[in-house]
Amino acid sequence: MDGLHDLIEMLLGVSLRSQHLNVAQICFRAAVIYLVMIAFVRFGKKRFLGHATAFDAIMVIIIGSTAARAITGNAPFFETLAAVFVLIGMHWVISLISRESPAISSLVKGHSTELVRDGHVNAQALKAAHMTRDDLDEDLRQEGVDQVADVKEAQLERSGQLSAIRK
């Protein structure tokens, strides 16, 4: 057991302060964190990094920030990995609860906003979304729509992406 402990200490420098870590230890920490993060994200949900809502994006930022501290030695290595695992677990549980409760889902993940209905722009919704008409036109072009008049419905989705249905 001491041999394993010594090997982990030599490779990761888990008992060292950040300023005493050498380049090899930081590189090895980065490789371990990378592999562990892949496993942790696989534990999470498939949409975790896909078309993320603000709920997902915040989680990615927090996890990245926390995991980086383990790489640089600014936080204890294994304890930081445990914290990341707990954060992903919490994300998973909140997602599960949100799936079963529309009210919680709306609170945590937000809701879509109808910007266009039958070729008419909802100016109030556009303003509330902090979008200009140019922003809307650009997003519609990316959806393959030339003119607002051709749109049956356009929604600003919870992910921040625009979805459009042609007439």
User: Which residue spans within 22-97 are E strands per DSSP?
Assistant: none
Compute the average pLDDT of residues 6-16: 86
What integer pLDDT is reported at residue 159 of this predicted model?
A: 79
Q: What is the mean pLDDT of the chain?
A: 88
CA atoms within 13 A on the CB side of 129: 26
Helix runs in the chain, H state only: 2-12, 23-43, 54-72, 77-100, 102-109, 123-128, 133-142
User: Which domains are present in the chain?
Assistant: 2-107 (no CATH), 112-166 (3.30.240.20)
